[in-house]
Amino acid sequence: MLRILIKFSLSLVILLGLLIGYLSFFGIETNSFNKLIQEEVSKSNENVNAKLEKVKILLNLSRFSINLQASDVDLLFENKIVKLRNISTNYSLKSFINREFGIKNVFISTKDNNLSDIINFIRVYKNSAQLIILDKILSKGLINANLEINFKDDGKIDENYKIEGKIKGAEINLFNRNNISKIDLDFDIQKKIYLFKNTKAEFKEIKLSAPDIKITDREKSFFVEGNIKSQTDEINKQILSIFAKKTLENLDIKNLKLSSENNFSFIINKKFKISDFLIKSKINLENADIKINSEKINKIHTKNDGYINFKDHKIQLDIGENKILIKGEGKYLLDKENEKISYVVSNLNEKLDFSIKLDLNKKYINLKILDYEKDETTDASLLIEGEYKKNKNLNFKKILLTQSKNNFLINDLNLTKDFKIDYISLVDLDFVNNSKKINKIVLKKNKKNYQIKSKIFDSSNLLEEILFGKDEGGISRFFYNLNAGIKIELDKVFIGDSDFIKNLNSEIRFKKNKLINLDLSGTFINNKKINLTIRTNQNKEKITTLFSGNAKPLVKKYKFIKGFEEGSLDFYSIKKNNISNSKLKIVNFKLKEVPALTKILTLASLQGIADLLTGEGIRFDEFEMDFSSKKNLMTINEIYSIGPAISLMMEGYVQGKDLVSLKGTLVPATTLNKFVGSIPVLGKILVGKKTGEGVFGVSFKIKGPPKNLKTTVNPIKTLTPRFITRTLEKIKKDGVEVKSTP
């Protein structure tokens, strides 16, 4: 009996061992635990139910637990389903016996689920504002994951969890209606650390990739760091305006093509407020065309089509809290040939510093006012350094144009918001102009005043710009509220090809951008003087006087007068409320050619005088002009000129460069002598011996645009009383004895 009992016990032990071994290694499938698992799932959250077919059971004696494995499990919540590939857990037998929560951890492998369903499922267990916003902005996408979830004794999820998986085809709808689409990534989430790897996405058809993005939970905020790359793609202005709308709203950019690699980090709090933003980017700009103000650029560069092309730029971009650094170099194109450009731009605490260097080796430059040109065959460079503070003036610390031995330097040029000069510290020009003249001139700021000095300077083009330029206001039009004195000392200043003034000295005073007083004096090569004064009296009248013992250099600036010789010039003007009344007087001069006057003489059949005018020239004793000006209208009250050959009286107006309207009387001097000296025989003078003889002179009209004047001439036999009076006054004034001509 004992032997049978021993055999039975041994067999039972062996059978039990085989059963335990089978359960430990192979397990069994049953639905007996389905209800238990469903109850345990519901205990974790009453809104979650589990649907499963069979459960595989494996015995784990070392932990005195059983391992439960289920495949094709559906988790049901809020009319949504999360599909699981499999789920496994160790169930404590001790907890089962004591009727306690017996699941310590769960291992879950999911199928592909809608990303939004997963987010909503997580919210069932742990809801937050971040998850609510995430649910709103995610519109599509699939996710599969492997989860290791640990539970506390009370059945709540422990924070010591691990989740890894993949997201495919996700789309984020940003608040500004710009979507990030086709998002694929791998993720690895652990306690307070979120890792995203191999991320790929598209934004506005731009392909982006992010090898690594890491998010660290700091309880009150998240620290985000990572790397994003963009492939070479064409980017339109609408994309740029998302990031810098105000900066780019008036900037015309086209054909923008670039790629970039960006390392970034920032802190984002629970309310999605970003701080401590840092980014370090390497940008490869393949191409960009930026619209410029071609009218302004063409003042120094006349062969541009309105766009600057930038190509093959390597750019370093660093962005931090209140700090931006841009450093780059590449090629730029203004016309036909690419040139090099390098630049450094930094913005720190609303202060912008910049340094730009451009090669101008193959560029045409024309500084017309200085009579300087550079062709496409000589090397040159331009350096610009400056700073700008928000809501303050723009300050160019240094502008240097260098070409061979020619240097144009400006230091501390301070410009207002409307690009008026507030002040300028230094202008130093040292160059040879188109006329092969050496120019050395320096302007320096001395406290509130300025000083200009030069050994030699060619002001020919500058003088023409003052006399004939479109802009009014002189030098002061470039300044903002100029209140300063300007002292000028020029040893030798050219005012024409060969005409120059020695020892030109001047003192000028400006107040509120208006010229108040001016004193100028100098000497021509023939020791004749030139003096110019401008005074402002108590009635706010500006009185200008100019005397030049040598009139030729000033008169010949007027291109329609040719062959002017000798003479002295006297000018007087009073200006108030932008209306000036002036008198100009030139004495003892000779003219060789005045096209309009020559035409009148020819039409009047006074060919002898016309030939004289274009040959040796006609001498005039005196020329007087009485005129007034308001804006671009010059009203000529009277021009009167008398000489041995002819006398002339004229009046009319000149409307800028649009219209000329003049009328007058021209009389040969011999006729005047006959008239004055032969009153008793007036009939012979008027009628002559034959019909058509004895004509005093001609009346004429000149009218039309300056480049297309129409001239009409009519012979006259009777002079106007005004002409006769002015002639007699002149003769009487000068004490000239008029003799009869036989």
Residue 126, classed as helix, strand or coil, is coil
* Beta-bridge partners for 55: 30, 70
- Locate 400 and state its tokens: 């240097």
Phi-psi region of 458 (alpha: psi -120 to 50; beta: other; left: phi over 0): beta
pLDDT at 27: 56
Taking residue 201's Cβ as centre, other Cβ atoms within 10 Å add up to 19
Give the amino acid at 741. T
Dihedral sign, Cα of residue 513, residue 514, residue 518, residue 520: positive
pLDDT at 741: 35
Give the amino acid at 282. K
Where would I find the beta strands (DSSP E) of 191-252?
Answer: 193-203, 206-217, 221-235
pLDDT at 115: 87
Q: Give the closest residue to 679 by CA, choosing from 733, 735, 722, 738.
A: 738
pLDDT tens string 116-159: 888 888 787 777 766 777 777 777 889 998 988 777 766 676 77
pLDDT tens string 302-337: 455 577 889 999 999 998 877 889 999 999 988 778
Return the half-sphere exposure (C-beta side, CA atoms, 13 A cut-off) of residue 400. Answer: 13
Distance CA 133, CA 588 (A): 93
pLDDT at 62: 58
pLDDT at 567: 83
H-type alpha helices, 108-216? 115-125, 129-137
- Locate 262 and state its tokens: 């960006």
For β-strands 65-77 and 421-432, DSSP reports them as unpaired
Quote the pTM value.
Answer: 0.72
Separation of CA 700 from chain center? 54
Phi-psi region of 119 (alpha: psi -120 to 50; beta: other; left: phi over 0): alpha
* Beta-bridge partners for 385: 355, 398
Distance CA 228, CA 118 (A): 26
Distance CA 676, CA 679 (A): 6
Taking residue 220's Cβ as centre, other Cβ atoms within 10 Å add up to 8
- Ordered mean pLDDT values, 10 residues apiece, the chain (742 residues): 61 55 59 71 77 73 68 84 84 62 76 87 74 75 87 71 89 75 90 89 84 88 89 65 49 80 88 84 89 55 68 91 89 87 89 92 87 89 92 91 94 90 93 92 92 90 60 68 90 85 91 87 88 88 90 70 76 89 87 64 55 62 87 86 80 85 77 44 39 58 83 71 63 48 34
Distance CA 413, CA 300 (A): 18
pLDDT at 94: 62
